[in-house]
Amino acid sequence: MDLSLIALLGGCLLLAAVLYYVIFVRREHPISPWGKSGLVTLMFVLVPVLVIALWYQAGAESRLAQIGFTPYPGFASSSGVATGLGENPVWVFSVEGGAKPVLEFYGRPENRKGWALVSESESLLLFEREGKSVAVSAVADSVAFTMRQGE
């Protein structure tokens, strides 16, 4: 999971707790409607969105494994909202040790069950299976998997 999202979620929860205390427990000064709407926005919009994003990030590696790619042991975390959902899913992972070992890992057939290697370059591998294609691109410390359905 992305540490920046975890930190942001923690900050939102802390701010929501402080606002709850100031608005509902302490009640020394009248609070404007903006303060109350801030608490509502934090608790019912921002916090659920962050929790959902983190939930999807937690399952990104298992969704990658479901299509036949063994998760690389050096994956540090899933990044952003590219977590392998949708009709043409995209996964983005930050990795430890650079991009080259990742491409070598997925170049071996045992790490990509049923996927045929179609094209290979310095920073990209292209696989096909049953009318679907997956591009694995690795640059610096991140790897992206992009799946496309056959047209």
What residues form DSSP beta bridges with 149? 132
Domain boundaries, the chain: 3-58, 68-149
Q: What is the model's pLDDT at position 28?
A: 67
Q: What is the model's pLDDT at position 3?
A: 73
Provide the residue-wise pLDDT of the chain in tens; the chain has 151 residues: 667 778 888 888 888 888 788 777 877 677 777 877 877 888 888 888 888 888 888 888 899 999 999 999 988 888 877 777 778 899 999 998 888 899 999 999 999 999 999 999 999 999 999 999 999 999 888 999 999 987 5
Question: Mapped to the 3 state alphabet, what secondary structure does 69-114 carry?
Answer: ECCCCCEEEEEEEEECCCCCCEEEEEECCCCHHHHHHHHCHHHECC
Q: What is the model's pLDDT at position 116?
A: 96
Q: Are strands 116-120 and 124-129 parallel, antiparallel or unpaired?
A: antiparallel
Q: What is the model's pLDDT at position 46?
A: 85
115, 128 Cβ separation under 8 angstroms: yes
pTM value is 0.78
CA atoms within 13 Å, Cβ hemisphere of 36? 8
